[in-house]
Amino acid sequence: MTPQSILPIKEALRKAVIFTLRTIIQCTLYLYEKCTDLVTAIDRRFTGLFAKTEYVRTGKCEMTGQCCKAIGIEFPASWQKHPTLVKWLIRWHKLRYNFEQIGLNQNLLVYQCNYLGADNKCAIQRFKPKLCRDFPEQPWRGKIRLHKGCGYKYIPRATAEFKIKLHQRKNSLL
Ligand code: SF4
């Protein structure tokens, strides 16, 4: 066997190892995140008895694929002085999420996801990570910055409640 003929075998082996490792990590964390989802849901229900979100999220996913083509993940600003740490974080995101790094802006890493198909459909829709399932989040204060053309939007709570009341009044008059 020549060194040239060994190279493709080595590459195939490397890919197989990464694929297996990624599958194990993703399945384990999927189960873990599903359990934490339940805890988060209970917590939000309980907190919701005493507090309301500042904005109400409306709309739906229009499948523009933008949020999967430009995913921003922040890391602690102090890490900027440690490029090796950032390099390992990028490696972790590649293994954990199958994200490909496309940019770095100060302490913001920008990725695109390898699971996004040409039709803007997610190849792992049913098993996508919490990061994707929760996006765009509904924070208690403020709102998340959305991509241009995103089907979701945030409405101030007072406006949303007024619209609901108006709708109910209209229905009761019919
Ligand atoms: S896993 Fe699916 S939803 Fe999440 S970024 Fe990738 S393509 Fe988008």
Is the CB of 122 inside a 6 Å radius of any atom of ligand 1? yes
CB 58 within 8 A of CB 143: no
Euclidean distance between CA atoms 48 and 61, whole angstroms: 25
Q: In the chain, count H helices and then E strands.
A: 5, 5
Is the CB of 128 inside a 6 Å radius of any atom of ligand 1? yes
Backbone phi, psi, residue 102, to 5°: -120, -10
Distance 113 CA to ligand 1 centre (A): 6
CB atoms within 10 A of CB 97: 22
pLDDT in tens, 113-158: 999 999 999 999 999 999 999 999 999 999 988 988 899 999 999 8
pLDDT in tens, 11-29: 999 999 999 999 999 999 9
Distance 5 CA to ligand 1 centre (A): 36
